[in-house]
Homo-oligomer: A and B are copies of this chain.
Amino acid sequence: MPDFKSIGEFGFIDHIATHPTPKHVLCGIGDDCAVMAQSNTQVRLVTTDMMVEGIHFFTHTPPEGLGHKLLAVNLSDIAAMGGTPTDAVISLAVPINHDVGYLERLYNGLYACADRFGVAIVGGDTTRSNNQLVLNITLTGHMDLAHVCYRSGAQPGDLIYVSGTLGDATGGLSLIRDKVEMNQTHRTHLLRKFHRPEPRLELGQTLSKTGAITAMMDISDGVASDLRHICQRSSVSATLQASTIPLSEASLRFCEKTKKDAIQLALSGGEDYELLFTIKPDRAKEIENLVQKSDHPQITCIGQITNGSGDISITYKEGSLSPLKFTGYDHFRTNA
Write the chain B residue with the least CB distance to A8: B126
A291 interface hit (Cβ, 8 Å)? no
Q: Interface size for chain A: under 10, 10 to 19, 20 to 34, or 35 or more residues? A: 35 or more
Q: A4-B96, A91-B136, A96-B4 are in contact. Are A127 and B36 (CB under 8 A)?
A: no
Q: Which residues of B contact A130 (CB under 8 A)?
A: 52, 54-55, 131-132
Q: Which residues of B contact A52 (CB under 8 A)?
A: 93, 127-130, 134
Q: Which of A115-123, A195-203, A205-213, A264-272 contacts B (4 or more CB under 8 A)?
A: A115-123
Q: Is the CB of A126 within 8 A of B9?
A: yes
Q: Which residues of B contact A16 (CB under 8 A)?
A: 107, 121
A114 to chain B, nearest CB (A): 8
Q: Is the CB of A36 within 8 A of B87?
A: yes
Q: A4-B98, A93-B50, A127-B331 are in contact. Are A25 and B111 (CB under 8 A)?
A: no
Write the chain B residue with the least CB distance to A23: B120
Q: A46-B140, A91-B49, A100-B2 are in contact. Are A25 and B129 (CB under 8 A)?
A: no
Q: A96-B332, A128-B331 are in contact. Are A87 and B123 (CB under 8 A)?
A: no
Which residues of A (299-336) have their CB < 8 Å from a CB of B?
A: 331-332, 335-336
Q: A3-B97, A96-B4, A126-B12 are in contact. Are A89 and B46 (CB under 8 A)?
A: yes
A residues touching B (Cβ–Cβ < 8 Å)? 1-5, 7, 9, 12-13, 15-16, 19, 21-22, 24-25, 28-29, 33-34, 36, 38, 44, 46-52, 54-56, 86-87, 89-104, 107, 111, 118, 120-132, 134, 136, 138, 140, 331-332, 335-336
